[in-house]
Amino acid sequence: MKALELPFKDKLYRFALNIVGNTFDAEDIMQELMIKIWNRIEQYQEIENKEAWCMTVTRNMCIDKVRNKKASVQDISDYHHLSDSDVTPDKKLEDTERFGSIMALVNQLPEKQRMIVHLRDVEGYTYQEIADITETTLDFVKVSLHRARKALKEALLKRNIKRYEA
């Protein structure tokens, strides 16, 4: 029998990690997804948009895991690393601090907005794909993304103003 391959498994893993907040649970979700697909391989092969289906199933499995643990989503800033071999240590530290502050602001967004920002700005999905994955409307995705970006912009501006006043 042919091995099961998901060319978008890295996206699924990052998406799961964003929701559950730790690598162990994200890896468990990925294994459970693979088992689910394997057990229903005939049905899976008939799905037209496999990536969107997998994102939706992954999202649902993550939400179930978070609910079962009764724990909030953890800060994911520890799991993202910026690296460039040509960057000086002080520039790297500055970039890391800036990224950390942005991630802290993103993590303060409501769950739906945080998820939509991740899907759009990190994973690059279209508005319609995000609406399908999150099981919401296209208008909801657009409004949520607009509000999230506006909130992030305002928070960043406030931080910069405070920094220059000090």
- Cα–Cα nearest to 78, from 116, 29, 22: 22
Both tokens of 147, joined, read: 């509000």
Name all domains of the chain by residue range, CATH numbers in brackets. 9-69 (no CATH), 87-165 (1.10.10.10)
Q: What is the mean pLDDT of the chain?
A: 83
Phi, psi (degrees; rounded to nearest 5) at 46: -85, -10
By CB neighbour count within 10 A (0-12 exposed, 13-18 middle, 19+ buried), where does 36 fall? middle
Q: Enter the tokens of residue 101.
A: 């502050």
pLDDT digits (tens, 9 = 90+) for 17-67: 998 888 999 999 999 999 999 998 889 889 999 999 999 999 999 988 888
Least confident of 33-47, 67-81, 86-100: 67-81
Cβ burial of 6 (10 Å; 0-12, 13-18, 19+) is middle
Closest CA to 63 of 50, 54, 76, 72: 72
Say what the pLDDT of residue 165 is: 61
pTM (predicted TM-score)? 0.56
